[in-house]
């Protein structure tokens, strides 16, 4: 029974990670064949176990109860967030997140109530810390039951789990029940986001991969990632926006007939107007951003 509960807990958080550079190249996903197999397994487990349980939880649990459960686990996560703030030398953030944990744990009754709403909550983990210090993503990797990740983020997930408050609960049955509750709560928060996936996705695997990598890139750069050229589409667009070369002006020592001069003026190409700011994003990219924004709301 304990093993099955732990399995349900892991399955419930299978899709809690979730936005990479759109249209990720094969260089970022060299294990695509393996990853797709794991993704299909995770999706089957989610549809059979995690999603129905989350839907039942969402229907039965009153809103105040869901908020207290979410606040409790969010408060525990602030310990890991504060540690990674310090590792990234973000001392102001560390003071804010540390204060949140201190006051919510005391005046907020073990974090059930959020009494520090005026203090900004941040989202830092060891995977982001490695990225902050210049460590690349490594290959994209779908973890069994845990969902989208990368080699770097997988290491970060392991490191963050070592000092976790939940892991330190000595009573195994209570610890597993806490993991189950956390997983179900997180999975229930993601139910609304699936509507965007159902509307937008032709290849769900590629969409989730690209969305995950985009979100992680944004998190590592604190919401201001460097602009990159994603594919040949951007190169073609830049070429179109460049003005055509102006015909060379004839040397003053040469005299052209009026008809020839008129032809030369008419053949001069006008400069093309700049494209609309958002014209370069097609529908799949806009939908990736919808999922990303929805996830930021869940984090907050």
Q: Quote the CA–CA distance of 200 and 215 in Å, as a whole number.
A: 17
pLDDT of 23 reads 46
Distances 101 to 77, 78, 81, 112, 149 between C-alpha atoms, Å: 9, 6, 10, 11, 27
What residues pair up with 141 in beta bridges, in sequence order?
149
What pTM was estimated for this model as a whole?
0.67
Category of 228 on φ-ψ map: left (φ > 0), alpha (ψ -120 to 50) or beta? beta
In a domain, 163, yes or no: yes
- Tell which residue, 65, 53, 285, has the closest CA to residue 188: 53
Q: Give the domain range for residue 145.
A: 2-228+280-299
For residues 292 and 218, the answer to whether their CB atoms sit within 8 Å is yes
Task: Give the model's pLDDT for residue 22.
Answer: 40
Strand ranges for the chain from DSSP E: 140-143, 147-150
Residue 235 lies in a domain: no
Does residue 249 lie in a domain region?
A: no
Judge contact between 70 and 189, C-beta under 8 A: yes
Report the pLDDT value the prediction gives residue 272, as an integer from 0 to 100.
46
* 36 Cβ contact list (under 8 Å, min separation 6): 142, 205
Q: Is residue 209 part of a domain?
A: yes
Give the pLDDT of residue 41: 96
- Residue 225: per-residue pLDDT: 85
**69 domain-assigned:** yes
Give domain status of residue 194, yes or no: yes
Q: Could you tell me how far CA 260 lies from the centroid of its own chain?
A: 60
218: Cα within 13 Å, side-chain hemisphere: 19
Q: Which residues of the chain have pLDDT under 70?
A: 1-26, 200-201, 228-300
Q: How far apart are CA 143 and CA 257, in angstroms?
A: 74
Report how far residue 157's alpha carbon sits from residue 224's, in angstroms, rounded to the nearest whole number: 23
Residue 57's DSSP bridge partners are none
Q: What secondary structure does DSSP assign to 189-240, as a single string? A: HTTTTHHHHHHH-SSHHHHHHHHHHHHHHHHHTTT-PPP---SHHHHHHHHH
- The pLDDT of residue 163: 82
Return the DSSP state at 290.
H
Exposure on the CB side of residue 179, measured as CA atoms within 13 A? 25
214 part of a folded domain: yes
pLDDT value, residue 21: 38
Q: How many helices (H) and strands (E) does the chain have?
A: 13, 2
Domain assignment of residue 264, yes or no: no
CB atoms within 10 A of CB 270: 7
The whole-angstrom separation of Cα 282 and Cα 201 is 13
Q: Looking at the 3D structure of the chain, how many domains does it have?
A: 1
Those residues whose C-beta lies under 8 Å from the C-beta of residue 260, and which sit 6 or more positions away, are none
From the number of C-beta atoms within 10 Å of its C-beta (0-12, 13-18, 19+), residue 228 rates as exposed
Distance (Å, rounded) from C-alpha 187 to C-alpha 47?
12
């Amino acid at each position: 029974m304990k093993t099955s509960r732990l399995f349900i807990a892991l399955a419930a958080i299978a899709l809690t990670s979730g936005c990479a550079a759109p249209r990720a190249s094969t260089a970022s996903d060299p294990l695509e064949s393996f990853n797709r197999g794991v993704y299909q397994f995770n999706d089957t487990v989610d549809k059979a176990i995690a999603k129905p349980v989350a839907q039942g939880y969402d229907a039965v649990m009153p809103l105040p109860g869901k908020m207290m459960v979410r606040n409790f686990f969010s408060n525990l996560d602030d310990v890991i967030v504060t540690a990674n703030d310090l590792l990234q030398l973000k001392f102001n953030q560390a003071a804010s997140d540390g204060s949140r944990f201190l006051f919510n744990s005391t005046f907020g009754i073990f974090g059930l109530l959020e009494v520090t709403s005026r203090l900004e909550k941040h989202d830092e983990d060891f995977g982001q810390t490695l990225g902050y210090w210049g460590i690349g993503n490594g290959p994209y990797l779908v973890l069994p039951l845990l969902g989208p990740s990368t080699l770097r983020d997988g290491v970060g997930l392991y490191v963050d789990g070592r000092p976790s408050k939940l892991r330190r609960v000595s009573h195994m049955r209570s610890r597993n029940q806490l993991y189950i509750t956390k997983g179900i709560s997180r999975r229930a928060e993601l139910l609304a986001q699936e509507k965007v996936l159902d509307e937008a996705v032709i290849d769900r695997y590629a969409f989730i991969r690209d969305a995950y990598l985009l979100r992680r890139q944004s998190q590592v750069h604190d919401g201001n990632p460097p602009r990159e050229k994603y594919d040949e589409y951007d190169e073609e667009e830049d070429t179109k926006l460049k003005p055509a070369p102006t015909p060379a002006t004839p040397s003053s020592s040469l005299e052209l007939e009026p008809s020839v001069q008129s032809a030369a003026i008419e053949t001069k190409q006008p400069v093309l107007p700049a494209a609309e700011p958002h014209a370069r994003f097609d529908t799949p990219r806009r939908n990736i951003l919808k999922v990303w924004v929805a996830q930021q709301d869940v984090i907050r």
